[in-house]
Amino acid sequence: MRVTTAKRAYGGISAAERQAERRGRLIEACLDIVGADGPRALTVTRLCREAGLNERYFYESFTDVSGVLVAASDLVAQTIADRILSALVAAEDQPRERASAAIGAAVDVLADDPRMGVLFLQSAALEELASRRAEIAHSFVELLKSQALATLRIRATPEVDSWATFVATHLFGGVLETIGAWIRGDLDLTREQLVERNVDLFLAVGAGLGLPQAST
């Protein structure tokens, strides 16, 4: 009888689970290297050495270094999105509190894990991440737009959607740049001041547009 060893479980762990674990280790190694020396320091040899894996295991999950960079970027983006949504669920249902929770969550992810901050903030300069960065930015703009309309209790109309897309795109870039400047030490602000000023701008823009509020 022929046995397919690729699907055999060892110690109760399936082949697919072992591969996923190795892939996760490579992504973590990518973040470690990027955080320490920047994305240009990535090589297959160094990634495998940092992850404690034979190079053949790299190629079971990725075809090249660009692939692990994309996977690490996806992990950072998903972590930020998850933290924002969790913070919104826990926040008091008032515009300032919800905005503070969301912006604070994004700040904390990038500040608390410098590896993620470096990759997220340097990704704009990486040609291999250009396409994925555009997709991630679009996802965050849609998230920001939907949550902003709910937070500010603005009724959705075609005109509102057009304005909301423009404003969300503008705010996403602005918030990202201010967080990056703060992490680099270019802004002499506390974490609370950084969040509060971004919240003030967010609320001011929403109020200044004079868009119709949804009925409560």
Residue 34 is assigned to a structural domain of this protein: no
Model pLDDT, residue 212: 55
How sure is the predictor about 4, in pLDDT bands with cuts at 50, 70 and 90? very low
DSSP string, the chain: ----GGG--BTTB-HHHHHHHHHHHHHHHHHHHHHHH-GGG--HHHHHHHHT--HHHHTTT-SSHHHHHHHHHHHHHHHHHHHHHHHHHHS-SSHHHHHHHHHHHHHHHHHHSHHHHHHHHHGGG-GGGHHHHHHHHHHHHHHHHHHHHHHTTBPP-HHHHHHHHHHHHHHHHHHHHHHHHHHHT-S---HHHHHHHHHHHHHHHHHHHTPPBPP-
Residue 61 is assigned to a structural domain of this protein: no
Task: Give yes or no for residue 142 having a pLDDT over 70.
Answer: yes
Give per-residue pLDDT as tens, 31-84.
999 999 988 899 999 999 999 999 999 999 999 999 999 999 999 999 999 999
- Top-confidence residue, 126 or 211: 126
Residue 30 is assigned to a structural domain of this protein: no
Domain range for 77: 70-209
Task: Give yes or no for residue 3 having a pLDDT over 50.
Answer: no
Domain count, the chain: 1
Residue 6 is assigned to a structural domain of this protein: no
Give per-residue pLDDT as tens, 75-107.
999 999 999 999 999 999 999 999 999 999 999
CATH number for 194: 1.10.357
Q: What is the model's pTM?
A: 0.84
Residue 75 is assigned to a structural domain of this protein: yes
Residue 216 is assigned to a structural domain of this protein: no
Residue 129 is assigned to a structural domain of this protein: yes
Model pLDDT, residue 2: 39
- Top-confidence residue, 28 or 174: 28
Residue 197 is assigned to a structural domain of this protein: yes
Average pLDDT over residues 105-124: 88
